[in-house]
Amino acid sequence: MGIFFSFWRRIFGGYDDDFKILDKRGVQMILCVLAVFAWEFFKQGKPWYISLAIAVLVYIFWCRGHWYYFQCGTESDAYIDEQMANGRKPAMNWIVAPVNKWLGFPERSKRYCFVGLMIRYFIWSLPVSAFVGWQFAVCGFCVPFIYNACFWVDLPKNKMCASPTNWAEFFAGLIIGWALI
């Protein structure tokens, strides 16, 4: 499941221009829910309603906004300002901003984004953990470290993983897939 999810998470992040259908969030949602449902129902033997709940919660875990935090402080201020003027908001900033202010981290800095990822992924891992176990929360807590590590290390670029974010999606999918086993 880990290997499957590593590739799936990379596709969910927007893999390839040759497959335009995979860029559609609706298609990605259906694929995610179906894959997790099938795994939980057929392989894990859970009742259909529990399998469906897990599938929907895993989808929410992945898609519930992490912009601009996932860029680990490398996103340009001009782009962030433009997106915010268009109505886009950072996820859970009502929690993230006061925590970062208390810690003394300037807004949009690497540390600010790291704390944002920590809060966002950990909080959204808790509902899934209620169904699949504590390992999902632990893996959700690890995702911010993966994103930041991929920005710190100069990984090779290829068609599948052309940026640090792409590599982070791949590795995060691997551990989250493992957490569902």
Structure confidence by residue, pLDDT tens digits, 20-45? 666 677 787 888 899 899 999 999 99
Question: In whole angstroms, what separates CA 76 from the centre of its chain?
Answer: 21
Q: Do 168 and 147 meet the contact criterion of CB atoms below 8 Å apart? A: yes
Structure confidence by residue, pLDDT tens digits, 160-179? 788 888 888 889 889 988 88
Cα separations (Å) of 107 from 20, 28, 152?
A: 35, 31, 20
Report residues of the chain scoring pLDDT below 50.
none
Domain containing 100: what range?
Answer: 2-179
Q: Show the tokens assigned to 65.
A: 């906004």
Q: pTM for the full model? A: 0.81
Domain count, the chain: 1
